[in-house]
Amino acid sequence: MLYFIGLGLGDAKDITVKGLEVIKGCSRVYLEAYTSILTVGKEALEEYYGRELLLADRDMVEQEADEILKGADVSDVAFLVVGDPFGATTHSDLVLRAVNAGIQYRVIHNASILNAVGCCGLQLYSFGETVSIVFWTDNWKPESFYDKIKGNRDMGMHTLCLLGAGRKIYEPPRFMTVAQAAEQLLEIVQNPITEETVCVGLARVGADDQAIQAGSLREMASCDLGGPLHSMIITGHLHPLEVDMLRLFSGPESLKGLKMTGSSTYIS
């Protein structure tokens, strides 16, 4: 059996009881090492799980999948993913490869940023399509994600922006902050999004030092939410209850640009 096991968002203890039991009985345990990170490193996971973890980077998963699947038809192999196995990044290709090889698979789910983002008080069913924002360079400034944000906004939906990681060869990885994402967005914003549009910055969701800040896009460009991972939400139409929740994470003037339209909707 090939097991896809979600690790949750915080630390080693966020794994489910079911997931931990499976890990302890597997012949090999791979840790997917490119979609996301936990607040603890590989060594802390190995100590808590009591197992050696084999790092599986993007090249291995995409180009050397047969190595992961090797022997999974006669013994149990685990593939660990931060968050949920089919959350921000799906692993459908690995599933299809297993099925084509006659290997059974099973998924053990966990929390992902796609549902845990509700911690800021925005209602999950009011979110539209999720987008990814990547680091710009001097010669490469993709803006295709903006059309999706605009489409969500036009429908009154919130947009969860997953903030990218980047690295140059021989350099350690770097992770985009809310402030960096907001700075890039401010260069390309156009109606119906402005620098006064209410946004929410989130960092290390699920960890003990989780951080949330609400305010205008302009304010997000100067906020400091600490270490990775960061996410940002561009709000759409806001229910009064959502506004009350956002006030828990904002300064006294941060939401002053909100306007009421109708009896139960705010916009910025």
- H helices within 170-230, ranges in order? 178-186, 217-220
pLDDT digits (tens, 9 = 90+) for 96-134: 999 999 999 999 999 999 999 999 999 999 999 999 999
In the prediction, which pLDDT does 66 show?
Answer: 92
Q: Which residues pair with 134 in a beta bridge?
A: none
pLDDT digits (tens, 9 = 90+) for 7-37: 999 899 999 999 999 999 999 999 998 767 7
In the prediction, which pLDDT does 199 show?
Answer: 98
Give CA torsion, residues 126, 252, 162, 125, to 10 deg: -10
Residues of the chain with pLDDT > 70, as a percent, come to 96
- H helices within 39-154, ranges in order? 42-49, 58-63, 65-69, 92-100, 113-116, 144-154
Q: Which domains does the chain have, with CATH numbers?
A: 2-111 (3.40.1010.10), 114-266 (3.30.950.10)
pTM, to two decimals: 0.91
Helix (H), strand (E) at residue 241: helix 240-246
pLDDT digits (tens, 9 = 90+) for 208-260: 999 999 999 999 999 999 999 999 999 999 999 999 999 999 998 999 889 99
Comparing 30-34, 179-183, 202-206, the range with the smallest average pLDDT is 30-34
Does residue 172 have a cis peptide bond before it, meaning omega lies within 30 degrees of 0? Answer: no
The confidence band for 173, taking pLDDT boundaries of 50, 70 and 90, is low
The confidence band for 172, taking pLDDT boundaries of 50, 70 and 90, is low
By three-state DSSP, how is residue 230 classified? strand
| Residue 174 contacts residue 235 (beta carbons within 8 Å) | no
| Residue 36 contacts residue 84 (beta carbons within 8 Å) | no
Binding residues: 9, 84, 87, 112-113, 163, 205, 230
Query: Is the pLDDT score of 174 beyond 80?
Result: no
The confidence band for 88, taking pLDDT boundaries of 50, 70 and 90, is low
pLDDT digits (tens, 9 = 90+) for 61-74: 888 899 999 999 99
In the prediction, which pLDDT does 186 show?
Answer: 96
In the prediction, which pLDDT does 57 show?
Answer: 86
Query: Is the pLDDT score of 75 beyond 70?
Result: yes
In the prediction, which pLDDT does 184 show?
Answer: 95
Residue with the larger pLDDT of the pair 35 and 180? 180
Report how far residue 80's alpha carbon sits from residue 129's, in angstroms, rounded to the nearest whole number: 25
The confidence band for 169, taking pLDDT boundaries of 50, 70 and 90, is very low
Report how far residue 133's alpha carbon sits from residue 222's, in angstroms, rounded to the nearest whole number: 18
Binding residues for S-adenosyl-L-methionine: 9, 84, 87, 112-113, 163, 205, 230
Among residues 165, 119, 116, 89, the alpha carbon closest in space to that of 9 is found at 116
In the prediction, which pLDDT does 165 show?
Answer: 62
- The beta-strand segments (E) located in 14-130 are 28-32, 54-56, 77-81, 105-108
Task: List, in order, residues 6 or more apart from 190 with CB less than 8 Å away.
Answer: 150
